[in-house]
Amino acid sequence: MTGVVGGEDLRALGPRVLTSLIRRHQAFDLCEDAVQDALLEAMEKWPAQGVPENPRAWLTTVATRRLIDRVRSDRSRRHREEQLVLGSPPAEVLRAAIDGGHDPDRDDSLRLLFLCCHPALTPPTQIALTLRAVGGLTTAEIARAFFVPEATMAQRISRAKQLIRQAGATFTMPPAEEFDERLRAVLHVLYLIFNEGYTTSAGDTVNRTDLTTEAVRLTRALQASRPGDPEVKGLLALMLLTEARRAARTGPDGKLIQLADQDRGRWDGALITEGCRLVTEALQHGPLGAYQLQAAIAAIHDEAPAAEDTDWPQILLLYQMLDRIAPNPMATVNRALALAMVQGPEAGLALLATLDEDRRVASHHRLHAMRGHLLEMAGRRGESRQAFGMAARLCMSRPERTYLMERANGR
């Protein structure tokens, strides 16, 4: 659900309204349904009646009414009233909802993040639920991020909300003994939200600034609450160093421009300066983590005055360290480029070949796109075009597909 409302994206308001309802009523699944009802009503009424002065308060009020309606109308399942607010009598809860008393401008997004990462859920389920509730991603988008069918992801999210309710989870920050474990899941969620926003996996747009902006906002809030955590600082640095290049990723015609060909004068110097400072601080205070290493790689790219000045041996070393700390097939795809730049394209192609049987990436367009690029570096034009063509067929993003088809056609 998208639509600009006074400079804000309607879709971006959804997670914030959801946090307001869950803070007061706790029933995750009922609150999410009520928020979806409110968003639909806004899409129907606002174009004709105009955007209200406070869109978020309007959505919160409508969602609260829909929540009450849902509970009252479900006479065959009265126990849902008892689950509306954990530990509070239904009559008291409904009266409070009707009379008001909630603060629609209070932002409890971090509390919702940690609620979604409850220990009753497996790590993949924690991430999926948080992407849905806080990030506002669709089930299809989350499924693509996890490389699983959409139906599988829908079942996983539905089950997660049931487990949250059964565990009696409350809308509070986790106790100290659970914090570090849940923090790891929260960081992964924020990382995936940012990635989906920076390079949209499907559709007609290259990126979605609503998601990148929300990911950065939440990570800043998390960093403010955990200023000494090197991985939180590393993740924020990675986001800022990556976001700094966004304006140069496309030309006036909207076509994608690869990193080596970007106009570095269009990169955001302030974000680069902040990101480099953060990653330097994180690396100095350790322990070393995956986000710090990725941020360090991004910093080397951002600090190079020109593409030919990039310190590829240092980048390769960092990717090798990353592979030891947090092996990941997509990181291996990126390491293949660094290896090719240091030892030649055939070395990079040999590394890519080790991923051909990996079901997580064997059918992903980025593997075939990287192979096409390295084959082109090796002068193997025919094979390169075939690889780019395969990548284009697998890609669900129209701008990326257009770029890949041009490469497949030798342009």
In a domain, 362, yes or no: yes
Instruction: Retrieve residue 15's tokens.
Output: 């997670």
Q: Are residues 90 and 123 in the same domain?
A: no
pLDDT tens-digit map of 18-71? 877 877 776 777 788 888 888 888 888 888 888 888 888 899 889 888 887 776
Q: Are residues 117 and 67 in the same domain?
A: no
Alpha-carbon gap, residue 24 to 92, rounded angstroms: 12
Residue identified by tokens 């004709």 is 48
In a domain, 388, yes or no: yes
In a domain, 292, yes or no: no
In a domain, 349, yes or no: yes
pLDDT tens-digit map of 62-114? 988 888 777 666 544 444 444 444 333 344 433 343 333 444 445 577 788 88
Q: The whole model's pTM is what?
A: 0.75
Burial class from Cβ neighbours inside 10 Å (0-12, 13-18, 19+) for residue 176 reads: exposed
In a domain, 70, yes or no: yes
In a domain, 72, yes or no: yes
Q: Are residues 404 and 362 in the same domain?
A: yes
> Residue 351 sits in which domain range?
336-411
Q: Are residues 95 and 152 in the same domain?
A: no
Give the pLDDT confidence score for residue 243 in this predicted structure: 97
Contact 397, 405 (CB under 8 A): no
In a domain, 395, yes or no: yes
Give the pLDDT confidence score for residue 2 in this predicted structure: 45
Out of 77, 100, 123, a domain closes at: 100
Q: Are residues 83 and 169 in the same domain?
A: no
pLDDT tens-digit map of 152-165? 998 888 888 888 87
Out of 200, 231, 255, a domain closes at: 200
Out of 68, 100, 132, a domain closes at: 100
Residue 237 has pLDDT above 70, yes or no: yes
Give the pLDDT confidence score for residue 158 in this predicted structure: 87
Alpha-carbon gap, residue 299 to 286, rounded angstroms: 17
Q: Are residues 81 and 129 in the same domain?
A: no
Total number of domains constituting the chain? 3
